[in-house]
Amino acid sequence: GDEILAGCINKNGLLTIEVKKEFGESTLAKILDLVKNASSKKAPTENFITKFARYYTPIVVISAVVLALIPPLLIPGATFSQWIYRALVFLVVSCPCALVISIPLGFFGGIGGASKSGILVKGGNYLEALNSVEMVVFDKTGTLTKGVFKVTQMHVEGDINEEELLEYAASVESYSNHPIATSILKAYGKEVNKKDIEDVEEIAGKGIRAKVKGKYVLAGNAKLMESEKIPYTKGKNVGSIIYLAIDNKYVGSIIISDEVKDDSIAAIKRLKSMGIKKIVMLTGDNKDIASSIGKVLGVDEVYSELLPQDKVEKLEKLQKEKSPKGKIVFVGDGINDAPVLARADIGIAMGGVGSDAAIEAADIVIMTDEPSKIALAIKIAQKTKKIVMQNIVFALGVKAIILILAVFGVANMWEAVFGDVGVALIAVLNSMRAMKN
């Protein structure tokens, strides 16, 4: 009676599955459709230099022609050769080479500097957009957490200690290759003596029953305890809970949780210190687990038990909260995150563990899977923008001075060449600073 989504992995056992939907109606098809439609909704970043050159170039060419022809006709004693020379000086210095070369080069430098730190940016417009980030939205599993199960807590009852509880659990789970069983065996850290284990029986959807050192041991979820009518202490659901009973008597529980990444807490603190207004976590996990991890991480809001389409809806609601020029970043790693990565103003994927669909849909890919690199990417973007703005102000400022001097005949051709080539070279050298983080 369970519903299985395409892409699930059967680790062990035999499954009989009935296909109820055609591909066009499947969850995978819906995810691909969401990615395609979400991409079309993204507003492209206006490219400053393209818009500027559209007006600047015709204006300076017309101005040079006017400068060459009108003054000799209107000013007594003025010669065409004198004013044509001034017009040529004006035309040389007005060439927008410094802007055309240095602005894209500034962004290329920023992209190159980011790639040195394992941050792959798919375009200068995404690097520029990072300067306006107001909200960062995270997926949980594989993004803020390692996506690896680990024994985090143990609770014992009766005449048994934690070491014995773990030994019984490891013995029962030693014949299973389920991720939860693997995490218990890893926590036990010793070789299990399989001669002590008899009559192993897997109870579908509930757990395992086995005879260990002559005692009947049950290990599984709450359903197993209830079906065997064993009174037990229900644990708070902050992870997967394995309940253990020996000879039909409850002896304790083991809590297995997804481990938070080493730098996740520091990453969120750093983002807040940089002035990010809101940090949100979206997850398909249950409410208790999500809330518990949300508190540990220090995020502002947590939304749990979400399907891929629910994540897109939540993101669209969050977009209404930001300012018109503000940007929302979404950070994820799985195929179920692909639609949200495409819909966000800036999508960031974890490249090491991320699915192909997530990496394809994202605008920025973090190859080291470290959430702290998001703050670094913003810092690189801010530095890049500062360098680009320096180049724009410097180039336009020098050109404006030499243009005025050219009109009055003070500037010569060599000054015009400096105003064009010299300024371009200085701007290029300045742009190269963006490569250093």
| Structural element, H or E, at residue 184 | helix 179-188
What is the signed CA dihedral for 73, 75, 76, 80, rounded to 10 degrees? -50
Q: Which of 2, 139, 345, 369 is catalytic?
A: 139
Long-range CB contacts (within 8 A, 24+) of 369-373: 369/142, 369/261, 369/333, 370/118, 370/261, 370/263, 370/267, 371/138, 371/143, 371/144, 371/261, 371/263, 371/264, 371/267, 371/268, 371/331, 372/263, 372/266, 372/267, 372/270, 373/117, 373/118, 373/119
**Rounded Cα distance, 423 and 427, in Å:** 6
Which structure tokens are listed for 29? 């098809």
Please confirm, yes or no, whether 139 is among the known catalytic residues: yes
Rg (CA), the chain: 32
Q: How far is CA 437 from CA 110, 119, 220, 383, 389, in A?
A: 8, 12, 50, 9, 18
Are 95 and 101 in contact, with CB atoms under 8 Å apart? no
**Rounded Cα distance, 225 and 2, in Å:** 21
Beta strand ranges found along 367-429 (DSSP E) = none
Which structure tokens are listed for 43? 């507003």
Kindly tell me the burial class for residue 116, based on how many C-beta atoms sit within 10 Å of its own C-beta (0-12, 13-18, 19 or more).
Answer: exposed
Q: Strand order of the sheet with strand 215-220?
A: 145-156, 249-260, 240-246, 215-220, 207-212, 197-203
Are 378 and 133 in contact, with CB atoms under 8 Å apart? yes
HSE-CB of 326 using CA atoms within 13 angstroms: 14
**Rounded Cα distance, 322 and 372, in Å:** 23
Q: Which amino acid is at 227?
A: S
Dihedrals phi, psi of 233, to nearest 5 degrees: -95, 115
Vertex 28: Cα angle to 25 and 34 (nearest 5): 90
Annotated active-site positions, please? 139
